[in-house]
Structure 1
Amino acid sequence: MERYELIVIGGGPAGYVGSIRAAQLGKRVVCVEKERAGGTCLNWGCIPSKALLASAHLYWELRHAEQWGLRTDGATADLRAIVERSRRVSDRMAAGVESLFRSKGVEYLVGSARIVGPGKVEVEVVDKTQTGSGPKETLVEGDHILLATGARPRVLPGLVPDGKRILTSREALLVQDLPKSLLIVGGGPIGIEFADFFSCLGTQVTLVEVQQQILPKEDQEVVQVLSQALTRKGISILTQTTVDKVQEQGEKLVVELSGKASGKLTCDWVLLAVGVEANLEGALGPDVRLSSANGFVWVDESYRTSFPTVYAAGDIIGAPWLAHVASRQAIEAVEAMFVPGKRPKRPKLFPSCVYCDPELASVGLTEAEARAQGRSVRVARFPYHANGRAVASGHSDGMVKVVAGEPYGEILGVQIVGSGASELIAEATLAIELEATTEELHSAIHAHPTFAEALAEACLRVEGRAIHI
């Protein structure tokens, strides 16, 4: 029987990062992944979806190239080639993780793992040599177990995906034919990104969200700017609306809606993007019970679960379901296990990004959240159409919004909608982490012309000193 200091179940952003951090600390580590290193993020989420969006956004710009003084008559999109490219990107990134495992000394097993007792895991290893011997079962022991099996798409009662016309995000990443019309259920990041992807390629997209706005947790003003931009691209957005029933009618699907946009709608496909649920399928033996919180695995401040020797990190412990948060949680969990006196910070400050065009990114408090906490704040906005780089590049849709505290001007939150938002938010995140003020941020010289100047100008505007508006 093999014995390790850490057994990691799941090879996604939490699992593989936690494995590498433990190896850096000199521990003997094995990581078991059911499918391929990288987990959902690298194989069926973040990475392939961004590859698809990169192709779609380039095609959109080719179709509208006249605004840059270019002629691209006859540009066409080859969906199968686009999808194939996205799979190559995923394969490359997954191979990179496997290479990291080798270089860092992490043992990597492809197979299914099941916790059967404290420090005990049954592993059904897939035969990677293709000798025909089939899976091999083995029992491994460890001082600690890190459960990082992530989450899977949630489905709605009575609306079961069939992988053909009713899809989850996983099937949508592999489509070979383009639907003429698509209804997406759910106005979160996944739903919006797929809406943008299919719309850019020519599909008529309807996006249905039960809340008052898409991206319900984001600032209302920046969401309004994004909604207007997506509407101009031809996406129909129906908020405060619920999908009650989907029925087949020949080659079409008839969707019954209730709420603000009640009625019937006909489409070719339906894509479910209504959130995620904890992925514990096959991970726990009959004698293993884990306490839960809101349907996800409960952990304490050090990421310990209710079962001895078992820790958990990443999407399986609940919101926010973000790869970068999962990685940080795994690092903190491993350091709590192996670094004496180390106290996890449990990240409360993290950026959120939506990679549609224009992008949306945010960090810290929104104006509404700050005021709800009773804080006295100053708020300023700087539009992209007043930024030289944005206008010159043809991406002038957007704005930067800064929420600062009174009386010192400490930055409490930043929301950005516009080109490059997912990159700009890093500066704002660092500023809040370092408790910087608006004066400190704008006093650092920002290169011209750059999108980053919009953030500096928004900070100047908080103080009533904006130059370019």
Structure 2
Amino acid sequence: MSKNQFDMIVIGAGPGGYVAAIRGAQLGLNVAIVEREHMGGICLNWGCIPTKAMLRSAEVFHLMHRAKEFGLSAKGIDYDLDAVVQRSRKVAGQLSGGISHLMKKNKIHVVMGEAKLSGQGKVTVKTEKGEEVLSSKNIVLATGARARELPGLEADGAHVWTYKHALQPPHMPKKLLVIGSGAIGIEFASFYNTLGADTTVVEVMDRALPVEDAEISAFAKKSFVAQGMKIREKSMVKKLDRAKGKVTAHIETGGKVTTEEFDTVISAVGIVGNVEGLGLEEAGIKIDRTHVVTDEYCKTGVNGVYAIGDIAGAPWLAHKASHEGVMVAELIAGKKVHPIKPGSIAGCTYCHPQVASVGMTEAQAKDAGLDIKVGRFPFMGNGKAIALGEAEGLVKTVFDAKTGELLGAHMVGAEVTEMIQGYVVGRQLETTEEDLMHTVFPHPTLSEMMHESVLDAYGRAIHF
């Protein structure tokens, strides 16, 4: 095999791409990976990881103010925003360096530069030293996505921010507008609100966290409002007037437009796939609304070309991208693979309180015409939650009444982003309510609520 001939070329070193490369190398493939900016992609450098580091700082700050509840004393409580950001960047940098180490460990050929498909089995990479042409029968597109910017709401980095600006803020917002209440918008709203910003969230849909179960969204909204957030649903920011030190937002609600001044705006209105400049159309690869169209095996329809992660469409989650990367690498290596089931991929939002879910909502199950049983268990009925001082929350489960299949699980409260995996495993193993009822959950744990919610669906809850 020639120097620039590989068994697999991966374009993009985010959580989909680098995982695909590692798995391919583990299976004995000669792998090259191309990255134009930084190892680990957006998730590790500007998404999942640094945001969680910042949210952890906000969580500790919040708990410090509650010291008296726990019999403790804390005086002169304050924060240093620059230090919070510095810690976040350090965490991201440490992990990005770890990805580079894994590339060397697995003998993966790394090329830093911009890649473009340049003919069947060919990838041309524009590097600092010029152009390098790589060849392979198997090419994996893993270029991810970026923040969507709407006309008139474009970020300027000064007072109108995307997530990148919000992770390295030029100032601490005093009066903050967050446009969009999906996971990204709510997480930043939660962070800055906890640090004292007067925070307003505008959501075009009829409720905050619109992809979640309606009952969970309502519970979370109530908590957000209790923390001082203002949530404006069924509303749209039509225009932003920018002036020195302020932004005037024109917000339409119910056909009526009002104006309000803010010093900072964060736009979190979705993402668009990074499909430009890759030579996709010329290669015959179909694109639909900035995302590459694939089948259940991530095949693009062009022989030997696959697409994984955010560029391949919803759900836009790092763990989905990673598993697609593993599946594609194994497919290329000749292994038998199973398509990933989107309904068994959990979504997690790290606001305060946390929100996590997997599978069908109650409304989706009803719309599908299914006869269902629904169970609920509140955090206030759990000993561990009370001991932690985290008695605010809810666990909800949805079952098929005829078969006992776990259709969906939805949670809001402390550490639910960790607990949801129990239900994910249950769905993967096609468990029924009987299996879950017979499972012994350790005591005292928050996970006991998962058991009680199942029991409640069948009228057998013990502790509530």
Shorter-chain TM-score: what band? over 0.9
Partners of 1:2 and 1:191 in 2: CA distance? 43
Does residue 413 of the first structure (1) align with residue 413 of the second (2)? Answer: no
AA of the residue aligned to 2:222 = Q
Q: Residue 354 of structure 2 corresponds to which residue in structure 1?
A: 359
2:356 is paired with a residue whose SS is strand
Give the corresponding residue for 1:152. Answer: 146
Determine the structure 1 residue equivalent to 2:93.
Answer: 91
Aligned partner letter, 2:394: M
Corresponding letter in the other structure for 2:27 = L
Could you tell me how far apart the structure 1 residues matched to 2:204 and 2:281 are?
38
Task: Answer whether contact 1:151 1:316 (CA < 8 A) is retained.
Answer: yes
Q: Which AA in structure 1 matches 2:288?
A: A
Corresponding residue of 2:67: 65
Q: What are the Cα deviations for residues 138-158 of structure 1, in whole angstroms up to 9, with x where unaligned? A: 111112110100000001112
Summarize the alignment of residues 21-60 of structure 1 with structure 2, pairs less than 5 Å apart: 21-60=23-62
Amino acid at match of 2:14: G
CA deviations on 1:148-198 (whole Å, 9 max, x unpaired) are 000000011122111111110011111142010110100100000000000
Residue 292 of structure 1: aligned partner: 287
- The 1:64–1:346 alpha-carbon spacing in structure 2 relative to 1, beyond 3 Å, is closer
Distance 2:301 2:403 in 1: 43
- Deviates further, 248-257 or 383-392: 248-257
Contact 2:354–2:415 under 8 Å retained in 1? yes
Q: Secondary structure at the match of 2:132?
A: strand
Pair 335,251 (structure 1): closer, same or farther in 2 beyond 3 Å: same
In structure 2, the residue corresponding to 1:102 is in which secondary structure? Answer: helix
Q: Distance in 2 between matches of 1:452 and 1:458?
A: 10
In the alignment, is the contact (CA less than 8 A) between 1:439 and 1:460 conserved in 2?
A: no
| CA apart distance, 1:223 | 0.8
Q: Distance in 2 between matches of 1:22 and 1:437?
A: 35
- Does 2:300 align with 1:305? yes
Match of 1:9 among 8, 11, 25: 11
Q: Which moved more, 1:351-360 or 1:175-184?
A: 175-184
Please tell me whether residue 246 in structure 1 is matched to residue 240 in structure 2. Answer: yes
CA distance in 2, matches of 1:146, 1:377: 40
Larger mean Cα displacement after TM superposition, 35-44 or 437-446: 437-446
Query: Which stretches in structure 2 are left out of the alignment for 5+ residues?
Result: none
- Quickly say closer, same or farther: Cα 1:26–1:404, change in 2 above 3 A: same
- Residue 219 and residue 347 in structure 1: after superposition, are their counterparts in 2 closer, same or farther (change >3 A)? closer
Instruction: Compare 156-165 and 4-13 and name the one that shifted more.
Output: 156-165
Partner of 2:330, secondary structure, is helix
* Residue 282 of structure 1: how far off its partner (Å): 2.6
Alignment equivalent of 2:315, drawn from 302, 309, 320: 320
1:363-412: per-residue Cα shift (whole Å, max 9, x none)?
A: 11111111111111111110001111111111111100011111343211
The whole-number CA distance in structure 1 between the counterparts of 2:196 and 2:235 is 24
Report matched runs for 1:124-139 at 5 Å: 124-126=126-128, 135-139=129-133
Of 422, 442, 446, which aligns to 1:447?
442
Structure 1: how far apart are the matches of 2:445 and 2:335? 45
Which residue of 2 is the match for residue 281 of structure 1? 276
Aligned mates of 1:341, 1:448 — CA distance in 2: 40
- Indicate the larger mover: 346-355 or 315-324: 346-355
What does 1:106-255 align with in structure 2 at a 5 Å threshold? 106-126=108-128, 135-255=129-249
CA offsets 1:414-444 (integer angstroms, 9 cap, x no match): 1010001001100011112212122321322
Q: CA deviation at 1:6?
A: 0.7
What per-residue deviation string (whole Å, max 9, x for no partner) do you get for residues 193-230 of structure 1? 00000011111111000000112121010111111111
* Corresponding residue number in structure 2 for 1:80: 82
Determine the C-alpha separation between the residues in 2 that align with 1:324 and 1:285.
Answer: 25
SS in 2 for 1:114: strand
Q: Relative to structure 2, which stretch is displaced further, 191-200 or 151-160?
A: 151-160
* Secondary structure class of the residue paired with 1:414: strand
For normalisation by structure 2, the TM-score amounts to: 0.96
8 Å CA contact retained: 1:167, 1:272: yes
Report the residue type matching 1:50 in the other structure: K
1:380 lines up with 2:379 in the alignment = no
| Identity across matched positions, percent | 39
Cα distance in 2 for residues equivalent to 1:386 and 1:291 = 51
Contact kept? 1:442, 1:459, Cα under 8 Å: yes
**RMSD (Å) for aligned C-alpha atoms:** 1.6
Counterpart residue identity of residue 349, structure 2: V
Q: Deviations over 1:272-296 (max 9, x none)?
A: 1000001123322784342112331
CA contact (8 A) 1:241 1:262 kept: no
2:34–2:112 contact (8 Å) kept in structure 1: yes
CA apart distance, 1:336: 2.3
CA contact (8 A) 1:154 1:277 kept: yes
Give the letter aligned to residue 150 of structure 2: L
Query: Which residue identity does 1:447 align to in structure 2?
Result: P
Q: Distance in 1 between matches of 2:460 and 2:403?
A: 16
Aligned counterparts of 1:111 and 1:394: Cα–Cα separation in 2: 50
Which region of structure 1 is more displaced relative to structure 2, 55-64 or 313-322?
A: 55-64
TM-score (norm 1): 0.95
The equivalent of 1:435 in structure 2 is 430
Shift of 1:125: 2.8
- Structure 1 unaligned blocks of 5 or more: 127-134
Matched position secondary structure for 1:117: coil
Question: When the two structures are aligned, how many residues end up with a matched partner?
Answer: 461
Q: Offset of 1:301 from its aligned partner?
A: 3.0
- The 3-state SS of whatever aligns with 2:344 is coil
Q: Once structures 1 and 2 are overlaid, which stretch shifts more, 8-17 or 430-439?
A: 430-439
AA partner of residue 75 (structure 1):
I
State whether residues 147 and 313 of structure 1, in contact with CA within 8 Å, keep that contact through their aligned partners in structure 2. yes
Whole-angstrom CA distance in 2 between matches of 1:105 and 1:53: 35
What is the alpha-carbon distance in structure 1 between the residues aligned to residue 248 and residue 346 of structure 2?
Answer: 38
2:250 aligned with 1:256, yes or no? Answer: yes
Which residue in the other structure is 1:458 paired with? 453
Q: Distance in 2 between matches of 1:254 and 1:57?
A: 30
Taking the aligned partners of 2:343 and 2:377, their CA distance within structure 1 comes to: 26
Q: Which moved more, 1:60-69 or 1:268-277?
A: 60-69
CA contact (8 A) 2:225 2:231 kept: yes
